[in-house]
Copies of this chain bind each other. A is one copy, B any other.
Amino acid sequence: MVSHTTHIRVRYGETDKMGYLYYGNYATYHEVGRVELIRSLGMTYKSMEDEHGILMPVMNMEMRFVRPAHYDELLSVTTEVREMPEKTIVFRTEIRNEKNKLVNGGRIKLCFISAETGKNVGVPDFLREKLTPYFEATQD
């Protein structure tokens, strides 16, 4: 398993008239979580697109909204990849507030598309190599 935590402070423009972080903005926070998890592996999602020509569109997403997040709260965003990706990759994210209470949890599945051909190409080798050490069986 790979896990990474980053922090995001709720911006004024991200709140809504209820005074909460607008529900549509959580997808962006999950995106930041994914991107920072990839950066923690020693590569960037940007280089995947720009240098390797791999796009990662989202296929589906599930989220539950447990309690509201408010303006100026510093949220912790913990993102995990629990299974070695093959055709697709699944990121699980939990967002907690400053009291460590769960705000939002979700699961987002993405695929790997060649920017050139538009075809689904599965997990690229350079990402597989970065991820393999985290998924090697611990044998007795």
Contact = CB atoms under 8 A, between A and B. Distances in A.
Contact of A16 (B17, B23, B59, B62): B17
A3 B59 CA distance: 25
Contact size class for A? Answer: 35 or more
Interface stretch (A64-72, A84-92, A129-137): A64-72
Interface of A, secondary structure class, is mixed
A58 interface: yes
A138 to B, nearest CB: 34
A20 to B, nearest CB: 7
Contacts of A16: 12-13, 15-17
Interface string A44-56: 1110010000010
Interface of A: 11-13, 15-20, 22-28, 31-32, 35, 44-46, 49, 55, 57-65, 68, 71-72
15 contacts: A12-B31, A13-B16, A13-B25, A13-B27, A15-B17, A17-B18, A17-B19, A18-B57, A23-B57, A24-B25, A24-B26, A45-B72, A46-B71, A61-B62, A61-B65
